[in-house]
Amino acid sequence: MADKGSWATITGALSLKVGEGRPAGSWTRFCCPAHEGDGGHHKPSLGVKYDSAKQRTVVHCFAGCSDEAVLDAIGLRVRDMFDRKLEPGKKRPTPIPQQRTLSVADRAIAAAGLPPLERKGPKVADKLGEQLTAWKTVAQYLYRHADGTVAGKVIRREATFAKGRDKDFRQRKATATGWEYTAFDKIPYRLPELLDAIAAGRTIYLVEGEKDADNGAAAGADTTTNAGGAAAWTAAHAQYLRGARRVVIVVDRDAAGYHRAVRVMATLVGLVGEIRVVEARTGKDLTNHLAAGHGFADLVPVPLLDPRTPFAPARQSGEAVNAPAIENTSTSITVYTKSDCVQCDATKNMLDRIGAPYRVVELEADPASRARLKELGFMAAPVVEAGEIRFAGFRPERLKALASNIRPEPPPLSQPSPQPQSTAESDAVDLDAVRQWAAPYLRSAQRRGDIPAVGSPAWVALPNGDPRKTGAIVQAALDQATAAAIAPAPARSAFDQVIQRSTNAAAAPLTPPVRTDASSQRALAAAPADHLAPARQHVPARTR
């Protein structure tokens, strides 16, 4: 309706609360926020339409909720249903249909190149043709209460049609006398195992369907799902995940799966710690992903849905048009990144692990590079470039192939590597080596928040030898060394003190005492000696 008025106010508030409305004759139908606002699957019972004669928006719950209850649930009052009076002599503009804005799920679907959600799909007979075989039970999945008693079961049936196979699911409720042909309590699948995993602080993988949950559990993960399909997740299911440290929603790669992810996230906010949204690297679902030989670490964040992956690559293939095959090249690798980008960090981490040299260009600080990549068809980070080879997104196989074909540039014969001339210069060479070795890992880990401050409760809780604990110490040492590099030269008498100390600790480098960052000194002092030793073992030998 009018851009500014009761229609825009009410429908906008409803969209934020319960999702987009659907046209139904003269009405626009929404789930009623007063009694259907729990995030579950409902047949919308609230109708909204504009009365031009009375210059007001009509709100009517066909289930019987009062206007006051509906408006109160979205933070509005009855007076918000009426437009303001016009000044004398002016006419009110004719209301026009409000332009529909895409929901976050619809935007993610469009970015992924998937077909939109079919509100009313064709009948099986129209889609698959004549049924050739009877429905056959192929699997049964038991749902158990927290104490292990059976609550119900889901029966999976399949049949063959002229144009393919179809499946359906039936629920049965467990009673003292047998099975009732009805739905059972809204509890997650594998509930006893789920509660144990939450208590232990393990990551929970929330998948779509019992088959994926069983296959994921067989692969060693803590998985769960809900009965009834993608649209059947409710706030009641979410309550069982309260207190989970980390929940990873593994979506099916289709419109229904993307919409389910949005609903699930809305019910988990405030109940769990971290929420991630990922999908299969190969195929449509987790079963396809595992069958292709991938692990859980290979699941791909879903752009626009995953809280830490806001933007998608421009093309689903992840490659520029006519991108050349990877061949042996001496060109170095450039990674174009942006802040708070999971795929950017994953790309740099993989290059670090395989030892490939690369440089990083932050697109937010380099408009020229951003404009050039846009002309080449890349709309978001990360973009990996090596000569004429370019591709977007986190692509492990292409990164490995690219790194294996990079020829390192040989050093000039006329300029041999400089040799350290003194102990202090030798220490500087070691420091440069540590910076070169550690900096990429530390930058990535700091952005993720994986490295706690040395001496903090989180740091103390980590076991000695944990890479995060070692990384914190290395970072503190680098901070102290950086402060030392810019400090003024000490007085003559200070050198005598250093030499005196060196006689008591032969391993200590002969460098003058300097004014260092106080927090770095405190951090290093807090580190136990048995943990400092492993950190030194990883320092690469300096070039001789």
CATH, residue 386: 3.40.30.10
Residue 319 lies in a domain: no
Residues 213 and 151 in one domain: no
Residues 269 and 344 in one domain: no
Distance CA 309, CA 342 (A): 6
pLDDT in tens, 173-218: 999 999 998 889 999 999 999 999 999 999 999 999 999 999 999 9
- Residue 508 CB neighbours (<10 A): 11
Residue 127 tokens read as 């889609």
Side-chain half-sphere CA neighbours of 487 within 13 A: 16
Helix axes 467-485 and 518-526, enclosed angle (nearest 10): 150
The alpha carbon torsion through 34, 269, 115, 337 (nearest 10 deg) reads: 150
The number of residues in the chain equals 544
The last residue of a domain, from among 101, 120, 136:
101
Residues 68 and 164 in one domain: no
The alpha carbon torsion through 117, 118, 120, 124 (nearest 10 deg) reads: -120
Query: How many domains, the chain?
Result: 5
pLDDT in tens, 214-260: 999 999 999 999 998 888 898 999 999 999 999 999 999 998 899 89
Residues 214 and 285 in one domain: yes
Nearest-CA neighbor of 210 among 146, 138, 282, 113? 138
Residues 428 and 517 in one domain: yes
The last residue of a domain, from among 153, 180, 207:
180
Domain that holds residue 206: 195-301
Residue 110 lies in a domain: no
Distance CA 314, CA 236 (A): 38
Residue 332 tokens read as 């170095």
Sign of CA dihedral 427, 429, 431, 433: negative
Average pLDDT value for the chain: 75
Residues 33 and 97 in one domain: yes
* Per-residue pLDDT tens listing for the chain (544 residues): 444 578 888 888 888 778 888 888 889 999 888 887 665 567 788 999 988 888 889 999 888 888 888 888 888 888 888 886 656 666 655 544 444 456 778 888 887 888 877 655 555 556 788 889 999 999 999 999 999 999 999 999 999 998 888 888 999 999 999 999 888 999 999 999 999 999 999 999 999 999 999 999 999 999 999 998 888 898 999 999 999 999 999 999 998 899 899 889 988 988 999 999 999 999 999 999 999 999 999 999 998 888 876 443 333 333 332 333 333 344 578 999 988 777 788 888 888 877 788 889 988 888 888 888 877 777 778 888 887 788 887 777 778 777 776 655 444 444 444 554 554 544 554 566 665 556 656 665 665 567 777 777 777 777 776 777 777 777 777 777 666 554 444 444 443 443 344 444 443 333 333 344 444 455 445 555 444 444 333 434 444 3
Residue 514: per-residue pLDDT: 38
Residues 533 and 474 in one domain: yes
Q: Residue 420 in contact with residue 433, Cβ under 8 Å?
A: no
Residues 387 and 342 in one domain: yes
Residue 166 lies in a domain: yes
Distance CA 138, CA 141 (A): 10
User: Which residues are CB-contacts of 4 (< 8 A; sequence separation ≥ 6)?
Assistant: none
From residue 96, alpha-carbon distances to 53, 86, 92, 101, 272 in Å are 14, 18, 12, 15, 42
Residue 312 lies in a domain: no
Residue 413 lies in a domain: no
Residue 109 lies in a domain: no
Distance CA 51, CA 371 (A): 49
Residue 470 lies in a domain: yes
SS3 147: coil
SS3 389: strand
Residue 264: per-residue pLDDT: 92
Q: Residue 46 in contact with residue 31, Cβ under 8 Å?
A: yes
Which stretches of 187-291 are DSSP H helices? 191-200, 210-218, 235-239, 255-268, 286-291
Residues 453 and 479 in one domain: yes
Phi and psi (nearest 5°) for 419? -105, 140
Residues 164 and 209 in one domain: no
Residue 255 tokens read as 């419109």
Strand ranges inside 338-426, DSSP E: 358-362, 383-386, 389-392
Residues 437 and 485 in one domain: yes
Residue 215: per-residue pLDDT: 96
The model's pTM is 0.46
Residue 143 lies in a domain: yes
The last residue of a domain, from among 251, 281, 301:
301
Residues 240 and 207 in one domain: yes
Per residue in 324-340, is it b (16+ CB within 10 Å) or e — as a string? eebeebeeebbbbbbee
